[in-house]
Amino acid sequence: MMFLPTTMDEVKKLGWKQLDIILVSGDTYIDTSYNGTAIVGKWLYKHGFKVGIIAQPNIDDDSDITRLGEPKLYWGISGGCVDSMVANYTATKKKRRTDDFTPGGENNKRPDRAVIVYTNLIRRFFKNSPIPIVISGIESSLRRITHYDYWSNSLRRPIVFDAKADIISYGMGEKSMLQLANALKNNTPWEDIRGLCYISKEEKNGYLKLPSFEECKNDKYKFIEAFNTFYQNCDPITAKGLYQQCGDRYLIQNPPCENYTSEELDEIYSMDFERGVHPYYKKMGNVRALDTIRNSVTTHRGCYGECNFCAIAIHQGRTVISRTEDSIIKEVETLASAPKFKGYIADVGGPTANMYQIECAKKLKLGACRDRRCLYPEKCPALKINHTKQIDLLNKLKKIKNIKKIFIASGIRYDMILDDSKCGQLYLEDIIKDHVSGQMKIAPEHTEDKVLNLMGKQGKAPLKKFKDQFYQINNKLGMKQFLTYYLIAAHPGCDEKDMLDLKRFASRELKVNPEQVQVFTPTPSTYSTLMYYTEINPFTGKKLFVEKDNNRKQKQKDIVIPREDKFKKQNKRK
């Protein structure tokens, strides 16, 4: 195992004279498969490229950005695991004080619009350099076409224009970043590599034309048209390339990278990781995120839930690709054999934990359907839900030496458990008995069918049914686990009456006073954000109520969690 170098002394110790690729990140350098910069860096290194990392560079001078020199092939820039604006501001635009991916925890190292700032930093101190700048990660991926930016309350051009970068690598970047490195190394054309976007002076023959940036800015229905076309062309099997005019130039978006195979995911996650913070950054303070991700395991990528407020379908894809059982077992065995391992795996899961090894055979062959979703408004008959493989995997993991408990901290779709008539109850019983501690967290997001419909989620009936089954199993096992609920206030279409109805339903039917309510944040490239900006339901074309006043958004939240109750709970914990 090894860390990728962060200083020239480390580069020289490896016997290297110059790096091929330098990756710059808004997160500190944690060498783990939960850090996109680390995983792409290790993947490139595995395939023979000399890679270095500069994490959270000082943006006021050249002390950090120049310390590894100039790369031979390209710069790769990421804002981090979270969009920098989401990391830096709350839903009501208040500055966040803490950052779990920064040493010491103080939010003082990640600039706003980190991708743009870091690109400009390179342009400033490497003037007239011919080395291309590639922007990647979730911040770039979700801003790759014309998008609504909540923090400036405006439509912005594709980020590659504002960042003055050369290329975007969007979605999961291992394949496109490697293919690009090989093309640049061999001096061969890279413009047709899947998963890349770039700026062109001309349209691209055979690609679909999106309404231009100027059209989107002047006409909200044109923006809806652009987003619908964009969304429908995110599946690798069915997608066509896209282009969008911005002024006198064009954004070119190649089709997405092909779906990964299970074997490819196994190879990626079998790479050696230090599972710690690089010593250069470790001396700066504790990194809170490491407490969770150090002993967590990713079982799959992708999500077909397609909640309208979530960008996973755009970034990771709507097709679930699972690692093999053997690969996951080997990783847990490695974790369990570490000298300081205390017996606890923090998470075994993915975007949605119980989608592991469950996918539609039709979709795997023909691509995602254009005329319906897998789970909304109800489960598609073509999707066969069976939790057997997950139960088998968890049973095998529990038997590994030194394992005391394995937690499932990733989200669980309770509607999928209800739809599994063969072993859904067995799976739920297993989770309650062995894989949660005291409480199980689920995310109904709301309880009122009107709002749930706009969120792309099933109505409240499944929630009530699941709650009853959960407590029936607890009684059967003689346990006292309980449910906690993640809820959203001020989603487009939601008003104060809906929050009052939510409060009543929670009290009457769920027998709880919710403690986990967040105000909706309009992040780029989601249908909910499209609703927020346009105040139009994009599926019906009808006008939609949208709460945009931050004080009234907070009031919606306060209906469910009065501020005085919140402060009482905080003081009690102290």
Q: What does the alpha-carbon distance between residue 462 and residue 568 come to, in Å, rounded to a whole number?
A: 32
303 is in an annotated binding site: yes
| Contact by Cβ (8 Å): 135, 75 | no
423 is in an annotated binding site: no
DSSP string, 506-570: IIIII-----EEEE----SS-HHHHHHHH-B-TTT--B------HHHHHHHHHHHS-HHHHHHHH
Question: Which H or E element spans position 291?
Answer: helix 290-293
* Beta-ladder partners of 445: 487
Q: What does the alpha-carbon distance between residue 186 and residue 13 come to, in Å, rounded to a whole number?
A: 27
Give the start-end residues of each E strand in 387-500.
405-406, 439-445, 482-489
Q: What does the alpha-carbon distance between residue 10 and residue 68 come to, in Å, rounded to a whole number?
A: 10
Give the start-end residues of each E strand in 120-215.
133-136, 147-149, 154-156, 167-169, 196-200, 208-210
Question: What single letter denotes the amino acid at residue 40?
Answer: V
The SS3 call for residue 145 is coil
The alpha carbon of 36 is separated from its chain's Cα centroid by a whole number of angstroms, namely 10
Q: What does the alpha-carbon distance between residue 533 and residue 550 come to, in Å, rounded to a whole number?
A: 15
Burial class (CB in 10 A: 0-12, 13-18, 19+), 458: buried
Q: What does the alpha-carbon distance between residue 310 and residue 231 come to, in Å, rounded to a whole number?
A: 13
Question: What is the arrangement of strands in the sheet containing 482-489, beginning at the earlier edge strand?
Answer: 439-445, 482-489, 516-519
Q: Helices 36-46 and 174-186: crossing angle, nearest 10°?
A: 40
* Beta-ladder partners of 517: 487
String of b and e for 260-283 (b: at least 16 CB within 10 Å)?
A: beeeebbbbbeeebbbbbbebbbe
Pure H helices in 14-96: 36-46, 84-88
* Beta-ladder partners of 168: 135, 197
Strand 482-489 and strand 439-445: the pairing is parallel
Residue 167 phi/psi, 5° resolution?
Answer: -145, 145
307 is in an annotated binding site: yes
Q: Binding site: residue ranges?
A: 303, 307, 310
Q: Binding site for [4Fe-4S] cluster: residue ranges?
A: 303, 307, 310
